[in-house]
Structures are given as C-alpha cells and as structure tokens.
Amino acid sequence: MLKEGDPAVDFCLEGIDEEGKEGKFCLKDLLSLPLILYFYPKDDTPGCTQEACDFRDNLNSLRSKGFRVVGVSPDSLQSHKKFKEKYGLNFILLSDPQKEVLRAYGAYGKKKMYGKETEGVIRSTFVISPEGKILKAFYNVKAKGHVESLLRELDITT
C-alpha cells in the first residue's frame, strides 16, 4: 500500500479524455497539475456511478483548487465511453484491464464483501503532487460521501 510521501507509481494506460477522445495517458503527462487519481470497480454500477457523478458535480470546485481528476477501472474503453456519455462525466477515465496499475497502487487484492473474502478492486483515491509524490492516500473508501470528505480534506491541505 502506498502512503503519504511515497513516489507515485508511473504508468501509461489507454483512456477517454474530457471530450470523449481515445488516447494513451501517462502519469508524467497528467502531472501538470496536482492529480486526484481514483480507482473504482465497475462502470455504471450503483456505487461507482454515485462516486463518478459526485466527482462530476464537484469538478469545478476541485479545478478551482488546481486539481485534475482521473478515474481508473478494469473496464474497457467502450464501457468507459458509454459511462461517460450516459452520465456526462467531464474528466478522464482510464482502462486497466490487466489490473497492473490497480495492483501497483494497492487498489486490487483481497477484500471483504458481505462477510466473505474476495479478490477485486479496492475503492481507493490518491492525491498526487506535480512532482509525483503521494500527498494523500485513501483506501477502502465508501462511494457515497467520499468526494465531499475529500473536498474537506483538501481545504485543510491546500
């Protein structure tokens, strides 16, 4: 698991940008601004939709503080495109079907779900400085209310 002060793990993934265009996105290119990198399990499911729409609805506040938002899941680019269009998502979504970046950030592994241990995406968020350092790391976040608490946290640290 990554923690504050650790270097962010570099990556390059295929994704869909703010305007719906497909391309390759590398961490180093995303760090022109402080980055909020969040990992979520699956497009168009209740919790993931709640979280994505909360980021969408608060994007102006986050941008006014100088932050860029990028979401990552194992879903395909086609799934991301539909998800973005259906909910008007106005930030980059990246596809990690091999789960390599998810694992590198500690956002994939064993977790408890309904009392049973399973393996899957661990809903996580990282705030990364333009220099590539982890400023904040949040694991096992709840979808509902996460963006609101992140905004409060960023008010304290910015």
What pLDDT digit, counting tens, does each position of 40-95 carry? 999 999 999 999 999 999 999 999 989 999 999 999 999 999 999 999 999 999 99
Position 26 in a domain? yes
Instruction: Give percent of the chain with pLDDT exceeding 70.
Output: 97
Residue 38 has pLDDT above 70, yes or no: yes
Domain extent for 22:
12-157
Position 91 in a domain? yes
Q: Which residue has the tokens 């968020």?
A: 125
CATH number for 94: 3.40.30.10
Give me the pLDDT at residue 83, please. 98
Give me the pLDDT at residue 95, please. 98
10: Cβ contacts below 8 Å, ≥ 6 apart: 26, 27, 28, 132
Give me the pLDDT at residue 113, please. 66
Catalytic residues: 48
Give me the pLDDT at residue 111, please. 78
Position 140 in a domain? yes
Number of domains in the chain: 1
What is the three-class DSSP state of 10? Answer: coil
Mean predicted confidence (pLDDT) in 134-145? 94
Q: What value does the mean pLDDT of the chain take? A: 93
Position 4 in a domain? no
Q: Which residue from 125, 113, 115 is spatially nearest to 40, judged by alpha carbons? A: 125
Mean predicted confidence (pLDDT) in 115-128? 92
Position 94 in a domain? yes
144: Cβ contacts below 8 Å, ≥ 6 apart: 47, 50, 51
Q: Are 58 and 151 in contact (CB under 8 A)?
A: yes
Q: How many CB atoms lie within 10 A of CB 112?
A: 9
Q: Are 123 and 143 in contact (CB under 8 A)?
A: yes
Chain-centroid distance, C-alpha 125: 6
Position 5 in a domain? no
